Structure 1
Amino acid sequence: MITRLETTGMVKYKCNDSVLFLLPHDTIPFEVLITPKAEGSPGVRRHFQAAINPHFKDDWKELPAGSLPMPLTASQVIALSNYSYFRMLNQAIPDFELEYARGGLCTRNDFLGKTTVLNFWSASCIPCVAEIPALNSLVSAFEDEENVQFLSFFADSIVVNAQDELIYMRPRQFGAANKNRGTMVDFHFTQVKNAANVFKDFDVRGIPVNMVVDKHGIIRCIEKGASVDGNNEMLISELESVIKDLLQVDSNM
């Protein structure tokens, strides 16, 4: 069963518990029949070249970025996914240069000296927006703690209107039919705009993601995903616990 065909030519092929990734620039002929969504319309055949490695490589963590061992079992796919999401844990945040929504540069130095909760989101991401009330409650819980700050890396542009309100812009493809692609969101984190290009530097491969960074710029917690029909109590509880632990460590130094 073909489960996905990328425009770049990558084929994800699943058979029982094995998942095989095929790339068009490899060496063995491989033909795919693409069944269109429209019922009754003819399928489209595309030809690929693929080299099949029948053995899972135990050293997959050392593979270059963008490379995958093949084939992968379902459990190995999960392991690879988790490694990709959490490999930045206990690592220093990368160097970057972005701009705050209300002006001024945001760099790695802004994380030093304070515990930072860092959020990654987009206005077109439903779970991202759904978790905002819970994140706002986290800000309120630490409003008297001067050594804790809350920053949000917003994927797209942010416009400040005449009333000094932030308008969060959606990507054009999500609002092409609307003259106004912006939306107002009551989000209490300090906003950093046009951050999508640095998501990959933090190994953020899907949103929302929330991180806790200690005062030395080391990532100590990574939480991915959010509930769209709950109050995200577990997420907030975990973030709050990590923040308190870091503050306790600082107070004992």
Structure 2
Amino acid sequence: MEESLTRRLIRYTIVVAIVVVLGGMYVQREILTDDELMVAVPAPAATETADTTDDSATDDGSSADGTGGTTMVQIGLVDDRSVQVDELAPDFRLTDLDGNVVMLSDFRGKTVVLNFWATWCPPCREEMPEFQELWEHRGSGAADDLVVLAVNFLRDDTVGAATNFIAANEFTFPVVFDTTRGDVAARYGVRGLPATFFIDRNGIVRTTALGPVFGNLLEMGVADADTEGGTVQ
């Protein structure tokens, strides 16, 4: 039984393989089946109170026990409505750090880097500085043609922990809370964190990445959305 489960995990482990071909990006994903997903990657216990801080992490996002990051934190969401590449990104209404309602459609006409994250996810925290740099270059400056929109996976996080993390690191890109307790993430087919969707100016998902996006990967994802292109399998 133990060997069988191990083989299944190896065979179905989510793989993110980046291959640069003629300046394009290729992202390969192998998805767990529903039954195996439930056994292999149970989600962390949901937090009952949404307005308290998470004592397991420091304000800057580092783990209290000093542990480092991993490639991905799997959460096990599955939804038949999951958006596909080259389809219209599902709209949503979520609240930001100031309590304002934010809709994805508010940013139509701009390239959108939509990121799902949580404070308990080490690789999520590690990629945030690059999102901030991108935001300062393309979003909050003179260009103003791109939005980095970070959706906090509130089902297993707290508003307090997320707010403290953002403030401590002085991140200024928009952050919203998935108060649907995972429904928005499920509609995007998010099975692990972090997950990033590169959406073009017309609201079409052009490229997706499961796992942290750094350097060239982030640049290529943005370029694909900018040119309304991208190749994902």
TM-score (normalizing by structure 1): 0.52
Determine the C-alpha separation between the residues in 2 that align with 1:134 and 1:183. 16
Determine the C-alpha separation between the residues in 1 that align with 2:151 and 2:210. 14
Asked if residue 110 in structure 1 is aligned to residue 106 in structure 2, the reply is yes
Q: Do 1:123 and 1:183's aligned partners in 2 also have CA atoms closer than 8 Å?
A: no
Please name the residue that 2:227 is paired with: 245
Determine the C-alpha separation between the residues in 1 that align with 2:3 and 2:122. 24
Bigger strand share: 1
Please name the residue that 1:144 is paired with: 142
Using the aligned pairs only, state the percent identity: 24
2:163 to 151, 163, 166: 166
Give the match's secondary structure for 2:131: helix
Q: Which amino acid aligns with 2:198?
A: V
Aligned residues: 157
Bigger helix share: 2
Structure 1's unaligned 5+ residue stretches are: 5-11, 20-64, 69-83, 169-181, 248-253
- Matched ranges for 1:209-224 at <5 A: 209-224=195-210
1:188-219 deviation line (CA, Å, top 9, x unaligned): 32000135521111111101111111222211
Assess, with a 3 A threshold, how the Cα gap between structure 1 residues 98 and 123 changes in structure 2: closer, same or farther: same
Asked if residue 187 in structure 1 is aligned to residue 183 in structure 2, the reply is no
Please name the residue that 1:208 is paired with: 194
- What is the Cα deviation at residue 158 of structure 1? 2.8
RMSD between aligned alpha carbons? 3.5
Q: Which has the larger radius of gyration?
A: 1
Determine the C-alpha separation between the residues in 1 that align with 2:11 and 2:177. 40
Give the match's secondary structure for 2:116: strand
2:96 to 100, 111, 119: 100
Q: Which amino acid aligns with 1:234?
A: N
Structure 2's unaligned 5+ residue stretches are: 13-32, 37-79
- What is the Cα deviation at residue 91 of structure 1? 1.3
Q: Do 1:138 and 1:240's aligned partners in 2 also have CA atoms closer than 8 Å?
A: no
Q: Do 1:136 and 1:187's aligned partners in 2 also have CA atoms closer than 8 Å?
A: yes
1:72-109 deviation line (CA, Å, top 9, x unaligned): xxxxxxxxxxxx9x962111112432111212212242
Determine the C-alpha separation between the residues in 2 that align with 1:237 and 1:108. 21
Q: Do 1:127 and 1:225's aligned partners in 2 also have CA atoms closer than 8 Å?
A: yes
Determine the C-alpha separation between the residues in 2 that align with 1:139 and 1:98. 20
Structure ranking higher on relative contact order (CA contacts 8 Å, 6+ apart): 2
Determine the C-alpha separation between the residues in 2 that align with 1:150 and 1:106. 13
Q: Which amino acid aligns with 2:192?
A: G
Q: Do 1:101 and 1:159's aligned partners in 2 also have CA atoms closer than 8 Å?
A: no
